[in-house]
């Protein structure tokens, strides 16, 4: 299980570069476009190794998944830009609960009783993380709200992929989905405050490194799922990115112009507790999903 641990570390580390890019004036639109194309370079080649013919009558399926993924990434980067990494990344663990909800509501799969316990644990973790957010607006943590919206989009997207990809052709489905995401992100570049070529050089450097790291960790997760034949175990280990994010912020956050390290010890310990509870919630949710 070394690969998913490395992937979790890479996600947390790569996200710090996004935070640095935002500090240099890089917009959410720029971040989304560059990251989308980095991931497309990784997954689009799957289109050329798919042996099954493309079922064009099912083309709406990768379109819907690309839209969900698009919105999920958008909410994620908006949350990272606005909030602290040590709050946002642990809160991403709520995705596992939304996968179960999506599979039940849209694809007729039953929700196991233990999933409700996982949901309560996730709610407790979110409450603890939210309490430690010192940027709340009228008592509401906007980064937490954005992250939950992101998790809902990603969770429903995962549920749809699990249901649709086998009949479509798994490799072709993933390749087409990421090609559509990258193409859609390019259209949104027109809405950016300034062209990508005029962006701050240091910010673009941080963005490029972050996007590359996130794309590479996506490969590690995919390899882990295939080689270990244990998607549940891989995802539980991968959820440790919430814990790593808190530790990395405390250890090297200052190198990325992050002020989070200067939070008092009580705040960081509270966030670490919230991250542990979120990890337990995801572990239970994924375990129940295999029953």
The pLDDT confidence band at residue 37, using thresholds 50, 70 and 90, is very high
At residue 83, the pLDDT reads 85
Confidence of residue 198 (pLDDT cuts 50, 70, 90): confident
How far is the CA of 94 from the CAs of 6, 192, 248, in angstroms? 21, 30, 21
Q: CA separation (Å) from 281 to 70, 119, 122, 124? A: 25, 7, 5, 9
In which domain, by residue range, is 279 found?
2-289
Provide mean pLDDT across the span 210-234.
75
Prediction pTM value: 0.84
Mean pLDDT for the stretch of residues 196-216: 91
pLDDT at position 275: 84
What's the pLDDT at 199?
A: 85
Angle at 220 between CA 55 and CA 47, to 5 degrees: 20
Query: Which whole number is the average pLDDT over 196-205?
Result: 88
Q: Inform me whether the pLDDT recorded for 148 exceeds 90.
A: yes
pLDDT, residue 47, reads 92
pLDDT mean across residues, the chain: 84
Q: Count the domains in the chain.
A: 1
pLDDT at 229 > cutoff 60: no
């Amino acid at each position: 299980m070394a690969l998913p641990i490395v992937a979790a570390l890479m996600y947390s580390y790569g996200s710090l570069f996004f935070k640095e890019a935002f500090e240099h004036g890089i917009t959410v639109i720029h971040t989304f476009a560059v990251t989308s194309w980095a991931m497309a370079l990784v997954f689009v080649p799957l289109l050329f190794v798919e042996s099954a013919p493309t079922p064009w009558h099912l083309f709406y399926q990768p379109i819907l998944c690309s839209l969900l993924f698009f919105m999920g990434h958008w909410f994620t980067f908006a949350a990272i830009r606005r909030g602290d990494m040590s709050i946002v990344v642990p809160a991403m663990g709520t995705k596992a609960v939304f996968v179960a909800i999506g599979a039940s509501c849209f694809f007729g799969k039953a929700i196991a009783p233990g999933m409700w316990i996982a949901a309560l644990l996730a709610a407790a973790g979110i409450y603890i993380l939210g309490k430690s957010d010192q940027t709340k607006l009228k008592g509401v943590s906007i980064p937490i709200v954005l992250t939950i919206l992101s998790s809902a989009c990603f969770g429903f997207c995962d549920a749809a992929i699990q249901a649709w990809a086998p009949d479509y052709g798994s490799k072709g489905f993933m390749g087409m989905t990421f090609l559509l995401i990258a193409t859609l992100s390019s259209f949104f570049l027109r809405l950016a405050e300034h062209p990508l070529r005029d962006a701050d050089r240091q910010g673009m450097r941080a963005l490029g490194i972050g996007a590359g790291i996130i794309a590479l960790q996506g490969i590690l997760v995919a390899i882990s799922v295939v080689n270990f034949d244990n998607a549940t175990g891989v995802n539980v280990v991968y959820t440790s990115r919430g814990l790593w994010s808190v530790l990395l912020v405390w250890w090297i956050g200052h190198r990325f112009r992050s002020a989070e390290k200067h939070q008092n010890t009580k705040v960081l310990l509270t966030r670490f507790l919230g991250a542990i509870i979120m990890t337990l919630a995801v572990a239970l949710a994924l375990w129940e999903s295999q029953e």
